[in-house]
Amino acid sequence: MIVLAGLIIGAVLGAVNALRRGGRKMDALQYGAAYAILLGLLGLFLTIYLHRTLAS
């Protein structure tokens, strides 16, 4: 669940950031994809850390 939340939040934040800076539609898509990948990976690592910490 943390990974999916990271993907969605990252896509939205990236697109909003690109549009706020005056970017076009393709810029928003590229920023959204990059932010989604970044926050998705952070969510994955956080999920693994929490699973290992709480399981042992």
Q: Encoding tokens for residue 20?
A: 């706020």
Q: Encoding tokens for residue 21?
A: 């800076």
Instruction: Using pLDDT thresholds of 50, 70 and 90, give the confidence band for residue 46.
Output: very high
Query: Across residues 15-39, what is the average pLDDT?
Result: 98
Backbone conformation region of residue 22, classed left if phi is above 0, alpha if psi is from -120 to 50, else beta: left
Residue 5 in this model has a pLDDT that exceeds 90: yes
pLDDT score for 17: 98
Q: Encoding tokens for residue 51?
A: 């699973």
Mean confidence (pLDDT) of the chain? 97
Look at the pTM and tell me if it is higher than 0.85: yes
CA 51/CA 13 separation, integer angstroms: 27
Residue 32 in contact with residue 14, Cβ under 8 Å?
yes
